[in-house]
Amino acid sequence: MRSYDFSKKYFNPEGQTLKVPRREDIEEKYKWNLTDIYKTDEDWEKDFSWIEENLNKYTEFDGTLGSSAQNLLACFKFDEEIESKLERLYLYSMLAKDSDMSVSKYQGMDDRIKSLYAKVMTFTSFIKPELLKIDESKLLGMINSLPELHIYKHSIDDLLRFKDHTLDKEKEELLAMAGEIAQVPYNAYSIFTNVDLKFSKVIDDKGNDVEISHARFYSALYSKDRSYRERAFKSYLTAFKDNANSISTLFNGNLKANIFFAMARKYSSAREAALHKNNIPISVYDNLVEAVNKNFEPMYRWASLKKKLLGVTELHPYDTYVTLFEQDSEKKYTYEDAKQIVLNSLKIMGNDYLDTLNKAFNNRWIDVFETRAKRSGAYSSGTTYGVHPYVLLNWSDMLNDVFTLAHEMGHNMHSYYTGLNQPFVYANYSIFLAEVASTFNENLLLDYLIENSNSKQEKLYLLEKYLNNITTTVYRQVMFAEFESITHRKIEAGEALTPEILCDLYKNLFQKYWGPSMVIDEEETYTWARVPHFYYNFYVFQYATGFAASEALANKVKAEGKPAVEKYLAFLKAGSSNYPIKVLEEAGVNMNSLSPILAVTNKMNKLIDEMEKLIR
């Protein structure tokens, strides 16, 4: 196998352009080990066939769930057996596809498993309606009558919340059958933007002719060469602008799918339906947007300070990521160095936590480097019962990559501890909690780096990183949340969302959140077209709530030590055994209060105060 010198990235010593590396160019230790899921594709096929052959067993339970506690338990156990295999199948096909999205075999496997998911949903569609037809006191009596059923008490209580939104058997079957169709907009968007979308070449900050990619776009935004930032920014977003009609059609299709399912289930809006799933009050969403809208002053201060320190007459969107301070701004962080930095920053969490991190680092749970047709961005695969979680990265030697590693390993630890400590029925955590563990890790990493800074300039650099974290994880995500809420309301009101309307809406929100210092280029108005999270059905607001909760939890760990660490580990282990608001409350954070959000905006002001003192 040919080794690949990542210190030279995409250029050979003569400066000639190299293509994005092939997957076979990467050492095995930097690639996922999918044999932890299935040894071979043939083993995957065996489990796939087993599910297909056994699906008809669901019919044995149809109409009998209220007949006895033993029959109810048997149904639950069979359903868990199907679901656990299905999750494993999905994990394998997803990771194989995302490793190289040009391989049709794994695209096909991914399509097949999604079809199988839809088929399983059709076969299981009788379960919830039938359970809800059983008299509530009788159902709870059945749960209490067998020790093996006691574990399902919370899941039954949760199910009863959906009584008014669950349809009869035939309608549930129809909705289940429609589920696969509803995935088409996102699936098409993902393939289009990751495989088929073509980007032009630009001259980089070293005079080389480079092929723009998703990862190179982000890397370019940190370049000190402003003209290169602008070239990369405009080149990248122009590709989305040129395809805005197609992408807006997919965008509209996704929103309409969300609204269809919400209306079918008798919710007043798609947003209510999305939040009801995790028992999150609408007020949490509205209070978040309101709190941030009343506290733009820190963002406006930050934009004004950026403009001043950059020495520009106009601040543009491509100026928002580049560091303001020279020292260490060009420092490269290898993946190996980053692992040690992350471990050092998390020592306060104790040996068990660190041992698990090392297990992930040393056993190929992580796919590290960008390769041709690999999925862009970064993610953790989440909890798959009986299998450790995986992490996708696209490493580019930036400080941001170190934080991404800490972030995704936070997800990874949450999924690992949940899967290890919860039974199948609770072996996952709600989306509302998903960004707490990730930003918790980032918080401790940043504290560690600031505490170990070697100069005033380095401290300024890290303070800026903290401010950028608040900007991107709170203000930017709340802006996205407001955009998502408005676009759904417009479709619900029967309005059309053309590319022009979407661009105008995004531009107005961007201006509101950044304030008078920002000059918005036309290309930025097409950013709505490149954000995959807009296809995740009211996900993004939880980045902001998660950041606020993680700040509170990290402060408790730093102030209280071991008792707070134990509470935090209990949070990681809780899975979905309780409602997310309650899980956070038991860890010491009240998300029904505005105080976590307001504390973040106040902290931003204090960080700017500290920065201004250092630069006087």
**pLDDT computed for residue 6 by the predictor:** 37
CA distance 223 to 291: 33
Is 70 exceeded by the pLDDT of residue 580?
A: yes
Give the count of beta carbons closer than 10 Å to the beta carbon of residue 546: 26
Give the count of beta carbons closer than 10 Å to the beta carbon of residue 409: 28
Catalytic residue at 45?
no
> 248: which 2 tokens?
């807006």
Give the angle 203-208-213 at the CA atoms, nearest 5°. Answer: 65
The fold of 201-330+424-616 is Neurolysin; domain 3 (1.10.1370)
- Report the range of poorest mean pLDDT among 78-82, 85-89, 197-201, 227-231: 197-201
CA distance 105 to 573: 36
Is 80 exceeded by the pLDDT of residue 385?
A: yes
CA distance 326 to 308: 15
Q: In which band, very low, low, confident or very high, does the pLDDT at 474 lie, cut at 50, 70 and 90? A: very high
Closest CA relative to residue 379, chosen from 362, 392, 398? 392
Give the pLDDT mean for 130-155.
Answer: 95
Q: In which band, very low, low, confident or very high, does the pLDDT at 193 lie, cut at 50, 70 and 90? A: very high
Q: In which band, very low, low, confident or very high, does the pLDDT at 409 lie, cut at 50, 70 and 90? A: very high
Return the domain boundaries, the chain. 28-182, 201-330+424-616
Taking the model in full, what pTM does it have?
0.77
28-182, which class in CATH? mainly alpha
Give, as one character, the DSSP assignment of residue 203: E
Give the count of beta carbons closer than 10 Å to the beta carbon of residue 186: 19
* 3-state helix/strand/coil string of 329-369: CCCCCCHHHHHHHHHHHCHHHCHHHHHHHHHHHHCCCEEEE
Identity of the amino acid at 249 = T
> Mean pLDDT of all residues in the chain?
92
The one catalytic residue among 172, 408, 464, 482:
408
CA distance 114 to 180: 7
Phi-psi region of 208 (alpha: psi -120 to 50; beta: other; left: phi over 0): beta
Asked whether this chain's domains 28-182 and 201-330+424-616 adopt the same fold, the reply is no
Closest CA relative to residue 85, chosen from 123, 122, 55? 55
